[in-house]
Structure formats: C-alpha cells, structure tokens
Amino acid sequence: MSDQSVYPVPPEWAKRAKVNRAGYEKLYGRSLADPGSFWLEQARRLDWIKRPEIAGDWSFDKADFHISWFADGKLNVAANCLDRHLAANGDKVAIIWEPDDPAEQPRRITYRQLHADVCKFANALKERGVAKGDRVTIYLPMIPEAAVALLACARVGAIHSVVFGGFSPEALAGRVEDCGSTIVITADEGRRGGKKVPLKANVDAARKLAPGLDQVIVVKATGGAVAMGDGDHWYHDLLATAEPECRPEPMNAEDPLFILYTSGSTGKPKGVLHTTGGYLVWVSLSHELTFDYRPGQIYWCAADIGWVTGHSYILYGPLSNGGTTLMFEGVPNWPDASRIWQVCDRHGVEILYTAPTALRALMKEGDEFVTRTSRSTLRLLGTVGEPINPEAWRWYHDVVGEGRCPIVDTWWQTETGGHMITPLPGATDLKPGSATLPFPGIDPQIVDGEGAVQTGATEGNLVIARSWPGQMRTVWGDHDRFFQTYFTTYPGKYFTGDGCRRDEDGYYWITGRVDDVINVSGHRMGTAEVESALVLHHAVAEAAVVGFPHDIKGQGIYAYVTLNADETPSDDLRKELVAWVRTEIGPIATPDAIQFAPGLPKTRSGKIMRRILRKIAEGDVSSLGDTSTLADPAVVDDLVANRVG
C-alpha cells in the first residue's frame, strides 16, 4: 500500500527556505538536548508583558503529574495577534473573507480594522458581564465576526469554547452545560454551499436543554428572520455603542485560552483545554516553519474555525505572525468542483492547507475542474486530518501543484495544539503518505502492546515521550480523565491513540486510530458517541458502531442495531434512526449503514467483539478469526448473511 517513491526538496526551496536540512537537524538536535534554553529563545518570538524565565516544567508520572510552560511569563494573545502589528503593518490585510456565494464580494480586513472591532466587542462582552476565566460559547459560521469573537475573548481573558456550526442543538447544549457557559455568540443563520443553517433557532432549542444559558449575542449574517427574546442582543448594536479602547488583560502563560470539545473512546466528548503562552509559541512557530511563512504571503487554511485546525492555523498561528489569512465561508464542491482553485486564483493564494477527504472528493470529479484554473500563485500545499492515500497525494502534487509545490502532510491532534510530525518544505524529502519527521521539541516513540520502546524500522503505537509547549493541559472539569486517557496506557508517556510505522529512514507513517475513535472526513467521532445516540431511541435495545473504509470519507460509520423485542426492522425505521443520530449529534455523524442485528457477537463476559464487527463491515468475512470464545457463535452467521453494503 505504501509508496516507496521519494520527492526530494526542490533546489530553490533548499536555498531559500527559512529552514534547510542542516538547519532542521540543528534545530531538532538542540530542542531535545537543551530544551530549556531552546524554548526560552523561541518564546522571544512573542510580545510578553513579562518575559518568562522558566520553560517547561512537567512530569507525566502519576505521583508528580503536572505540565506547565513559561509559567512565570505574562502575555495577552489578542495583543500578540493584533496590537503589536499595528505600528508597522496596521494597514496590511489580516483577513481575506471569501463568501459562500462567489457572486458576492469578498471582504478584506486590515489589522487596524480587526483590532478596532476586537476592542469594541471585548468591551461589549465586559458590559455583558463577561470576566476573565468565564466560558463563552461560540457557535458561528465562517464569517469574520468569528475571528473577532475569539480574539475578543482572548483580549478579556475569557475562555472560548467554539462549537462547530454543524452540530445539533442537543450537542450544543451538552457542550454549553459541560463548561458552564452562560453566554453564546451565534448568527441568525449560517450558509454553506447555498444552503442555510438555522443557527439562532438551534441556540433557542439548545436553551431549553441548557437552562444556565441566559444571554445570546447574534450576528446578522444572512438577514434571515429570527426570533429575538429576553437576553438576546444583536452583535452590531453592541458594537455600535461599545467603547473603542480596551486594554488587553494581562494573562499568566498558564491561564486557559480555550476549550475545544473532541471525541474520545467514551460516550461523552471531552473539553480539551489549551493555555495561553505555550499554545501561542507552538502555533506561531509551527505556522512559520511548516509553511515557511513570510508576512505578505496569501495563506489559506480551508478548515472550519470549529475544529482545532481553524483555531491554530486560520487564526492564532497566522495572525501572531502578522500574516494574511483567508477565511472561506463555503464548501469545495459548490457551485462546482472548481471552487477551491477559483478562490486560489481570485486571491492569489500561495499556500493552501486542506484535508485529504476534500482532495479525494474533488479528484473523483476529474482533472478538468482543476486544469481550467491557473493556480500559478500556489507555491506550497498542505494536508491535515487523516492519513493521505498516495493516490490523492500524487494528484495534489501533480495535478493541483503541477509538480512545483512541496506537500506538507502535518500529523497532529486537538490535544497537541499544533503540528507534531511534519515535513518542513525546505528541509524534508517527501514520501507520499508519510508525515515524515518530528517537529523540533517532539520526541516520538513507537511502542508495542506492552509499552516496550521499539527501535529502528518498526510498527506499533505512537507515544510522545516528553511534553511540548502546545500540549493540552487538562480535560475541562475532569483532570483525572485527562491523566487516565493519555498517560496510563503507557505510563510516563503521552499516548496519541494512533498506530504508526517508522521506516528505515526514520520516517513516520500514521496508520490510523487504534482506539474506538473513527475518522470520518477528517472529523473525529467516538464510536461510543454514536452508540449512545442510537440507544436513546425508544426502539433500540443495543447498538455497536464501527468504522469501515470509505472512498471519499476515509472511514464511514457502520452501525449494528438490536431492536427492542416488540419492534420490527424496516427501511422506514432505518431512515428514522439515521435522522435521529443527525439530530442528536449533527450531520457529520450520519451513519452510512445500519444493520439490524438480532444479537451482537459477545464474549462470555459480555464484551462486544468489535474486531468481528469491523471485519463484517469491511466485507472481509472470510477471515473472521477465532469466534470460539463467543457466548453464541451463531449470531455471526446472521450478521454475515444480513450485511448491508
């Protein structure tokens, strides 16, 4: 399956890039040999109110478990992303906004304008009672006001929790309740691919489930009719009357910056918490080195602000570096499959960062949608979110980039804050499908099932042996769960949940999740989350969910459902269950297949044998392995006979 070809660093990249191969080796070597002085030096890239004198202070051991970076430093993230660029670059464009509908005009927002709006909105938040440490939920589409909202929270020291606009009222309410936020910032409606998303109506529905939520700030985005009641405020009204001056709140480096909910192997999403100083150093440095970024270049990360990629590489990385970041409201395949490349041409995009699932979807539409555009400004391409299959990699390289642009395949996680294993374009020879080599400061190891560290070319589970500045600090409200989830499988190490191979050149090849997390179109879904949603339905007695290979999505969702005794399987019920999951979680959790199963394959101790369910979902029924430990081996025959596919 893996591709053995090597794409060497193009000579002009080796010459001109910020980091060449020798530079990488030196940086990487120093980062591990002398992390203290290395990171204090890197920290100087930011503007500190009080510069730190301590770098990392951490232990992954149970007895002394703690993680902190730059703990004696003070800074403000919004001041680093805005104020410090004003004197020299206030009139430079910070955000290029490309609307959903290509017939509409894009917006260009300078650092000065963005700063002014952020200051006013920060004051508006304070007037609404928001103070340092308060949690503010943000449920917005991809509009510039989303950037204003996140940065305004950072300015006043409030902790933002962005909930993806595709999540349902139920999912939104759960996240609002979990972090105890009393305020939500939303819009009348969102737009994606010509379709409207009723965001304000969703918030109103969520309010019934989350009684603590008492204020809603609404951006008028589409002008669609919405009900405004008690505690509802129009964003633009608040901005119009807000004071223009707002001093950035001095934050300790370890004060929280944001919470972002992500799926794990249990039913309830966890609130990943990132703090201020280490996170910003990490995303700022990685944005600069991985993308060889220089201010003035037009950079486009085509993610949604609701995912960590949007936080780190649409907003905080690029703006902390004084960059120009493109924000896209739309989708890749509307009005047609040419849209991404048209946006590249319209704005002269030099660096494009997107996901394999989008590439696969566009690839299947044929090359003509690409080749009819110019793309002459593109110089670097990036991917994130899941392993990229070599075929999609080569299409991206040869057709999109016309062989001229290196591809940075960046492996990282919500938990890691920023890039962990990634090529640097002037330093790293590329192999299609490999995330290549560790970023400075990252000490990856491959361990076997018992935790024994494997050397040389090998395959096993990926752990990180030391802390890095961008590491998450806790699970909101459940520090014990943080320790249990990440540091107990292989004591003393951070467990990523990913399987990984290392080849003879020391290159890392991520093979996918080894836990009960599936990756659907680059979105993380806990199988337990979908199962919990299914069993909430009155007809369902039990459910088991697994991933299966899907041409476009990477993985699809296959659900085995056992109905209550008085229920009868039917196509209507199947449709109802699909709709049910969409309502409970959101469209990204839509099951691709539902199989009614009179029984599930269980061991005598009652454990569902997911290995068997995965094989059946994959259609690989000839090698189900040992089924003799099952309480009732006959259920397998029924499952095989009634496979959906």
What residue ranges bind ligand 6R9 (CB under 6 A)? 262, 307-309, 384-387, 409-414, 435, 496-498, 510, 512-513, 519, 524
466 is in an annotated binding site: no
Question: Annotated binding residue at 16?
Answer: no
Establish whether 135 is an annotated binding residue.
no
**426 known member of a binding site:** no
Q: Tell me the closest approach of the beta carbon of residue 512 to ligand 6R9, in angstroms.
A: 6
User: Given the complex with ligand 6R9, which of 312 and 338 has the nearer CB atom?
Assistant: 312
Instruction: Measure Cα distances from 153 to 262, 325, 546 in Å.
Output: 20, 20, 38
Burial annotation 413-452 (CB, 10 A radius, 16+ → b, else e): bbbbbbbbbbbbbbbbebbbbbbbbbbbbbbbbbbeeebe
Cβ neighbors of 352 (< 8 A, separation 6 or more) are 300, 302, 340, 344, 378, 380, 381, 382
Residue nearest to ligand 6R9 (CB): 414
CA distance 543 to 600: 8
Residue 308 or 636 with smaller CB distance to ligand 6R9: 308
333 is in an annotated binding site: yes
Task: Tell me how long the chain is.
Answer: 645
Q: Is 194 annotated as a binding residue?
A: yes
Toward ligand 6R9, which CB reaches closer, 242 or 308? Answer: 308
Residue 19 burial by CB count (10 A; 0-12/13-18/19+): exposed, middle or buried?
buried
540 is in an annotated binding site: yes
**Residue number, 358 or 510, with CB nearest to ligand 6R9:** 510
CA 588 to chain centre: 14
Q: Are 463 and 493 in contact (CB under 8 A)?
A: yes
CB of residue 501 vs ligand 6R9: minimum separation in angstroms? 12
Q: Measured from the CB atom, is 265 or 532 closer to ligand 6R9?
A: 265
Element (H, E) at 97: strand 93-98
Residues 6+ apart with CB under 8 A from 144: 95, 97, 107, 109, 114, 327
CB of 162 within 8 A of CB of 179?
no
Residue 21 assigned as binding residue: no
Shortest spacing between CB 624 and ligand 6R9, in angstroms: 26
In the complex, minimum distance from the CB of residue 264 to ligand 6R9, in angstroms, rounded to a whole number: 10
Beta-strand pair 107-110/93-98: antiparallel
Q: Name the minimum Å distance from CB 320 to ligand 6R9.
A: 18
513 annotated ligand-binding residue? yes
Q: Is the dihedral of CA 123, 126, 132, 137 positive or negative?
A: negative
Distance in angstroms (rounded) separating the CA atoms of residues 603 and 368: 52
| 334 annotated as belonging to a binding site for a ligand | no
Phi-psi group of 110: left, alpha or beta (phi > 0 → left; psi -120 to 50 → alpha; rest → beta):
beta
Least Cβ distance, residue 570 to ligand 6R9 (angstroms): 35
- Shortest distance in whole angstroms from residue 313 CB to ligand 6R9: 9
Dist CA 444 CA 457 (whole Å): 13
Residue 34 neighbours by CB distance under 10 Å: 12
Minimum distance, C-beta of residue 631 to ligand 6R9, in the bound complex (Å): 32
Q: Which is nearer to ligand 6R9, 110 or 519 (CB)?
A: 519
Q: CB of residue 594 vs ligand 6R9: minimum separation in angstroms? A: 25
Distance (Å, rounded) from C-alpha 410 to C-alpha 338?
A: 24
Of 97 and 411, the one with the shorter C-beta distance to ligand 6R9 is 411
The response to whether 57 counts as a known ligand-binding position is: no
Determine whether the annotation assigns residue 192 to a binding site: yes
Distance, in Å, from the CA atom of 358 to the CA atom of 392, rounded to the nearest integer, reads 10
Q: How far is the CB of 473 from ligand 6R9 (least distance, A)?
A: 16
* Omega of the bond leading into 244 within 30 degrees of 0 (cis): no
47 annotated ligand-binding residue:
no
The answer to whether 416 is annotated as binding is no
Which residue, 496 or 595, is less far from ligand 6R9 as judged by CB?
496
Instruction: For ligand 6R9, give the closer residue by CB, 146 or 588.
Output: 588
Q: Helices marked H in 197-335 — which ranges?
A: 199-209, 235-241, 277-290, 308-310, 317-320
Of 284 and 410, which has the nearer Cβ to ligand 6R9?
Answer: 410
Q: Are 491 and 484 in contact (CB under 8 A)?
A: no
Nearer to ligand 6R9, 321 or 354 (CB): 354
Among 304, 251, 245, which residue's Cα sits nearest to residue 121? 245
CB of 121 to ligand 6R9, least distance (A): 27
Residue 165: helix, strand or coil by DSSP?
coil
Please, what is the minimum distance in Å from the beta carbon of residue 26 to ligand 6R9? 25
Instruction: Determine if residue 354 is labeled as part of a ligand binding site.
Output: no
Consult the annotation and say whether 535 binds a ligand.
yes
- Cβ-Cβ contacts under 8 Å for 188 (sequence gap 6 or more): 199, 200, 218, 219, 220, 221, 222, 223, 224, 225, 226
Measured CA to CA, the distance from residue 574 to residue 597 in angstroms comes to 12
User: For ligand 6R9, which is the closer residue by CB, 187 or 384?
Assistant: 384
Helix-, strand-, coil-residue percentages of the chain, each rounded to 5: 35, 25, 40
Helix axes 634-641, 610-618, angle to 10 degrees: 20
Residue set of the binding site? 192-195, 309, 333, 385-387, 409-414, 498, 513, 521, 524, 535, 537, 540, 582
Residue set of the binding site for ATP? 385-387, 409-414, 498, 513, 524
Residue set of the binding site for Mg(2+)? 535, 537, 540
Residue set of the binding site for CoA? 192-195, 309, 333, 521, 582
